[in-house]
Amino acid sequence: MNQIPYAVVKLARDSQRPTGLDYIQNIFADFIELHGDRRYADDPAIVGGLARLQDRYVTVIAMEKGHTAKQRSCRNFGAPHPEGYRKALRLMKQAEKFGRPVICFVDTSGASCGIGAEERGQGQAIAENLMELSTLCVPVISILIGEGGSGGALALAVADRVWMLSNAVYSVISPEGCASILWKDSKKAEEAAACLKLTAGDALRLGIIERILPETELGEKPFYDRIRRALAEELEALEKDPDLVPKRYDRFRRIGQVKERT
């Protein structure tokens, strides 16, 4: 990990990187997309449905940024609205009902920032996902494939295993946002990116993720084959674990560093 963190941020944001739908189409078979949150609308920034991973059915949920300008605008650049998070939760609950594991692909600069999102309770939608995912009774694996922007990313990443692509980033705030708040200068983003410890290597060292997925042959068949195999193996182990939910609690319970002052 000798790369400059801000260079990784740029790679993570590259519109030519595989997006959520690319992963769904290349890793799984028989994908059937299921739309809508049953409350307000269908959010194109989150795609979800049923799919087959080798010999088992899973629920797969992915943030989708799109590649072309038109796709990206239609997908709101992968920034989900509350209805996107509510659709995701609906599908997770459905997975739980039918005993299917959940696989999430996370790629967003952050939850959608706008009037409608606030009116429809963006904070509440994310909070509910965090809470409900913490006790979902089926295995959950989340893979950060590009940008992992703050609470908007975490809402699909309260999982038993969290993996990151080697050039994905995961951060509490964008480096630009951090620089403009702390130093009143968004041009210091490069410096902020280094301070925020947002690369996959950092996340692994901090105990936030379990595994880094290398990007050799990114977007090609062997790349997806590797991820498919890794997912299948991991699910095999997780499905046998009777203490899935308590272990997920402990996984997050451990995170943080404090001092004891007497």
Partner 1 sequence: MAFIQFLKPKNALEEGGRTAAPIQQDAGEPEKTCPNCHKPIPLSRLWSSYLVCPCGYHFRMNARQRITMIADKGSFLELFAGIVSDNPLQFPGYTEKLETVQNISGEAEAVVCGTAEIGGRKCCLFVMDPGFMMGSMGSAVGEKITALFEYAMQKRLPVVGFTVSGGARMQEGLLSLMQMAKTSAAVKRHSDAGLLYIAVFTDPATGGVTASFAMEADILLAEPGATIGFAGARVIEQTTKKALPKEFQKAEFVLQHGFVDTLAPRSTQKQLLTRLLNAH
Contact range with partner 1 by CB under 8 A, out of 18-26, 31-39, 95-103, 131-139: 131-139
Please report whether residue 171 would count as binding partner 1 according to CB under 8 A: yes
Task: Identify the CA nearest to 215 among candidates 168, 166, 170.
Answer: 166
> Which of 25, 73, 124, 216 touches partner 1 by CB under 8 A?
124
Q: Give the pairing of strands 46-53 and 29-33.
A: antiparallel
Distance (Å, rounded) from C-alpha 222 to C-alpha 219?
Answer: 8
Task: Identify the CA nearest to 83 among candidates 128, 23, 50.
Answer: 128
Residue 237: φ, ψ to 5°: -70, -45
Q: What are the Cα distances from residue 244, in Å, to 138, 140, 160?
A: 8, 9, 8
Please report whether residue 240 would count as binding partner 1 according to CB under 8 A: no
Q: Is-contact 60 49, C-beta < 8 A?
A: yes
Chain positions 27 to 86 lying near partner 1, rule: CB under 8 A, are: none
Task: Pick between residue 206 and residue 237 the one whose CB is nearest to partner 1.
Answer: 206
Please report whether residue 114 would count as binding partner 1 according to CB under 8 A: yes
Task: Identify the CA nearest to 122 among candidates 96, 151, 89.
Answer: 151
Please report whether residue 1 would count as binding partner 1 according to CB under 8 A: no
Task: Identify the CA nearest to 218 among candidates 10, 1, 14, 6.
Answer: 14
> Which of 89, 143, 178, 213 touches partner 1 by CB under 8 A?
178
Q: How far is the CB of 26 from partner 1 (least distance, A)?
A: 28
Q: How far is the CB of 163 from partner 1 (least distance, A)?
A: 15
Please report whether residue 7 would count as binding partner 1 according to CB under 8 A: no
Task: Identify the CA nearest to 143 among candidates 166, 114, 125, 124.
Answer: 166
In the stretch 187-216, what mask flags binding to partner 1 with x, by CB under 8 A?
--------xxxx---xx--x-x--------
> Which of 29, 113, 137, 237 touches partner 1 by CB under 8 A?
113
* Residues of the shown chain interacting with partner 1 in the complex, contacts defined by CB under 8 A: 111, 113-115, 117-124, 126-128, 130-132, 134-135, 150-151, 154-155, 157-158, 170-173, 177-178, 181-182, 195-198, 202-203, 206, 208, 248-249, 252-253, 255-262
